[in-house]
């Protein structure tokens, strides 16, 4: 018995330490190139083995680390660890081929492994300081993946990503301090139950919802996703969408006090935001011309549906555990399906000069993953949608009739959005003027991902004995689940036959654009018009501005704002001041 406990603890230790140590190892300039390939392939394996072999509720203490850290697995975190580590493993094998000829592959591997360490660590962390440390590590290390190609769109996406991440970190840290102070414990399972009825529960719920909502792509905090995904390397996009944004969902699950009291007002707000985001993202995503941007909006839409699950759990406390379980099954299916879609884009662009039959096989694989996201019969998506619809309509809350109508419509909208994605990929593959990308050997890893899409949800539910109905679909069930997808495909075919063209494309990032332009104008106005008394004269910043920007244009303003926003000491100081203000408010 003791030997089994030690073995389980060893797997959990290795799950966190191995990718961290390999990240430090790739920094050495003397290590051989083959070592980078080896660590990219093997870094997530200890976490995968821990998810498979470590028993539920296996845990270990590290009193000498920070404020006394604890690592453990529960039913839900084990499920998250399973699909997260498996997707990172597949993406690692894919990344070896993808960055094989990249001169900056060592830098990519470093940020990739740090992000992996944070992602795995936050799942197994059972204490508040440990969770926040690993969450922050994942968040800030992912910046290196977003700006990897060092081009202007990448720096712009990284700038917006890091600005929103700092805002989210400030809200999360404040909420976690409140939880620890109220619960008088640093262990998550001991502190969170004490929040209900403490007088600060509404502040905690608001901060947790919107702090983790930035990571999860909650409307209207989703603006960084459609900017970051297109510029990041394809394997990084796969794990960003498939695994890392699920950290926001896990944050909601762990820190919201939904299972201890009912919060119908918060639940209604969350359901409304989730539903609106699910349909809003489809409308914006259909107008995109980049397949990866289209997929980013698809992720926002699907996270909206998972948000609905959390909203139902907040509305009725007795439904919290069921809502969390269904959201987790949704997350599992979405992780593999969206990973296959992003990796499939890389395969399609690399094989665009292949024979037509080969290209049709690639499109068929992409269609399979798209159908899993849409919830086609006999897929993991169908299993999750079936459970959610039954749960949403049978739960005693006012949203039941509305969800009974809107959930099938969301499947239709998702089908239409992903049909647009397939059209964009096909157009790029068929473009005679476009040269194939230089990435070769991507098919094996992508094929494994497609296998995971086909059966991982069913296998996981059966193996882990998750209490979700897996009864055979009856004929009426098959018809009901097929109709929304058939309707979406019919609309897509009609649009294609009638050569329907979108007259206007909504810029990627949508709601971020007005804020970005406003910040640029404020920055220019400050520099031009603010003056400093200097004896009998006034020193203005206008000559400095004219020197930096000889010809004042809108693009020059954006460039100047870019220069100023890169000064991390400004954002860091602001972050510290915000945290200090919240701590003083708590102590007063």
- Residue whose pair of structure tokens reads 């850290």 in the numeric block: 69
Structure tokens at 588: 């007063």
Collapsing DSSP states into helix, strand and coil, what is residue 105? helix
- Is the separation of the CB atoms in 505 and 430 below 8 Å? no
pLDDT of res. 389: 76
Consecutive H or E run containing 71: strand 69-72
> Distance of alpha carbon 91 from its chain centroid, rounded?
15
pLDDT of res. 397: 66
Say which residues have a Cβ less than 8 Å from residue 337's Cβ, sequence separation at least 6. Answer: 369, 370, 372, 373, 380, 381, 453
- Is the separation of the CB atoms in 212 and 503 below 8 Å? no
Before 220, cis peptide (omega within 30)? yes
pLDDT of res. 66: 65
pLDDT of res. 576: 53
Task: Report the alpha-carbon distance of residue 236 to residue 229 in Å, rounded.
Answer: 8
For residue 60, CA distances in Å to 7, 72, 121, 131 come to 11, 6, 13, 15
CB atoms under 10 Å from CB of 187, counted, come to: 16
Nearest C-alpha neighbor of 136 from the set 117, 154, 149? 117
Structure tokens at 536: 């009998």
pLDDT of res. 2: 47
Structure tokens at 16: 């966190």
- Is the separation of the CB atoms in 457 and 382 below 8 Å? no
Structure tokens at 84: 């997260």
- Is the separation of the CB atoms in 451 and 316 below 8 Å? no
pLDDT of res. 159: 86
pLDDT of res. 9: 67
pTM, two decimals, is 0.83
Task: Report the alpha-carbon distance of residue 245 to residue 161 in Å, rounded.
Answer: 13
Structure tokens at 525: 């106005």
- Is the separation of the CB atoms in 214 and 164 below 8 Å? yes
| Longest Cα separation, the chain | 88
Consecutive H or E run containing 517: helix 512-529
> Distance of alpha carbon 371 from its chain centroid, rounded?
20
pLDDT (tens, 9 = 90+) of the chain, 588 residues, equals: 445 545 556 777 788 888 888 888 887 766 666 677 788 888 899 888 888 877 665 666 666 666 667 888 888 888 899 899 999 999 999 988 888 887 788 888 888 999 999 999 999 888 888 899 899 999 999 998 998 888 888 888 888 888 888 889 989 999 999 998 888 888 888 888 888 877 888 888 999 999 999 998 898 888 888 988 888 888 999 999 888 999 999 999 999 988 888 888 888 899 999 999 999 999 888 888 888 998 999 999 999 989 998 988 888 888 888 888 888 888 888 898 898 999 988 888 877 667 777 788 888 888 888 888 887 777 777 777 777 877 777 766 677 778 778 888 888 888 888 888 888 888 887 766 666 565 667 888 888 888 888 776 666 666 655 555 555 556 776 777 778 788 878 887 887 776 666 656 777 777 777 776 776 676 666 555 554 454 555 444 445 444 444 444 444 444 444 444 444 444 455 555 555 555 555 444
- Range list of H helices, 399-474: 400-430, 443-463
φ/ψ of residue 534, rounded to 5 = -140, 85
pLDDT of res. 251: 93
pLDDT of res. 84: 92
Structure tokens at 397: 């809350």
């Amino acid at each position: 018995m003791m030997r089994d406990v030690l073995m389980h603890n060893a797997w959990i230790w290795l799950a966190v330490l191995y990718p961290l140590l390999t990240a430090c190892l790739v920094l050495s300039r003397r290590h051989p190139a083959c070592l980078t390939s080896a660590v990219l392939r093997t870094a997530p394996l200890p976490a995968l083995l821990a998810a498979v072999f470590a028993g539920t509720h296996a845990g270990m203490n590290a009193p000498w680390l920070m404020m006394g850290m604890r690592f453990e697995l529960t039913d839900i975190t084990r499920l998250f660890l399973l699909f997260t580590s498996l997707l990172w493993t597949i993406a690692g094998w894919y990344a070896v081929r993808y960055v094989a000829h990249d001169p900056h592959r060592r830098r990519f591997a470093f940020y990739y492994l740090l992000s992996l360490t944070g992602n795995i660590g936050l799942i197994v962390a059972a204490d508040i300081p440990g969770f926040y440390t690993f969450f922050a590590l994942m968040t800030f290390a992912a910046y290196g993946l977003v700006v990897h190609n060092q081009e202007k769109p990448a720096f712009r996406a990284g700038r917006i990503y890091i600005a929103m991440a700092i805002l989210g970190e400030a809200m999360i840290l404040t909420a976690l301090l409140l939880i620890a102070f109220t619960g008088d414990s640093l262990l998550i399972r001991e502190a969170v139950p004490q929040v209900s009825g403490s007088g600060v529960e509404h502040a905690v719920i608001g901060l947790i919802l919107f702090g983790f909502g930035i990571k999860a792509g909650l409307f209207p905090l989703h603006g960084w996703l459609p900017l970051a995904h297109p510029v990041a390397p394809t394997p990084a996009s796969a794990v960003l969408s498939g695994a890392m944004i699920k950290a926001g969902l896990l944050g909601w699950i762990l820190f919201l006090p939904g299972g201890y009291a009912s919060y119908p007002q918060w639940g209604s707000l969350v359901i409304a935001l989730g539903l609106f985001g699910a349909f809003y993202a489809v409308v914006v995503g259909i107008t995109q011309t980049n397949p990866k941007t289209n997929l980013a909006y698809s992720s926002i839409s699907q996270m909206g549906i998972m948000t609905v699950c959390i909203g139902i759990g907040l509305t009725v406390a007795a439904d919290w555990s069921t809502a969390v379980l269904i959201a987790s099954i949704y997350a599992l299916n979405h992780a593999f399906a969206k990973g296959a879609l992003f990796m499939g884009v890389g395969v399609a662009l690399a094989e665009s000069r292949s024979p037509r039959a080969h290209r049709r096989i690639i499109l068929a694989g992409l269609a399979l993953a798209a159908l899993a996201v849409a919830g086609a019969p006999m897929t993991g998506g169908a299993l999750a949608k079936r459970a959610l619809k039954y749960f949403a309509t049978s739960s005693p809350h006012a949203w039941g009739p509305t969800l009974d109508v809107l959930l099938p419509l969301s499947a239709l909208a998702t089908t239409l959005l992903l049909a647009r994605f397939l059209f964009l990929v096909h157009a790029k593959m068929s473009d005679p003027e476009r040269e194939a990308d230089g990435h070769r050997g991507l098919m094996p890893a992508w094929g494994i991902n497609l296998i995971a899409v086909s059966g991982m949800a069913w296998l996981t539910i059966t193996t882990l004995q998750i209490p979700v109905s897996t009864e055979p679909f009856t004929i009426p069930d098959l018809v009901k689940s097929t109709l929304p997808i058939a309707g979406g495909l019919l609309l897509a075919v009609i649009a294609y036959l009638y050569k329907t063209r979108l007259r206007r494309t909504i810029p990627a990032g949508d709601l971020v654009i007005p804020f970005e332009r406003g910040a640029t104008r404020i920055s220019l106005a400050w520099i031009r018009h603010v003056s400093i008394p200097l004896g009998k004269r006034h020193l203005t910043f206008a000559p400095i501005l004219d020197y930096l920007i000889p010809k004042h244009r809108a693009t020059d303003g954006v460039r100047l704002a870019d220069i100023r926003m890169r000064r991390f000491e400004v954002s860091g100081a602001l972050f510290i001041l915000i945290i200090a203000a919240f701590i003083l408010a708590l102590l007063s």
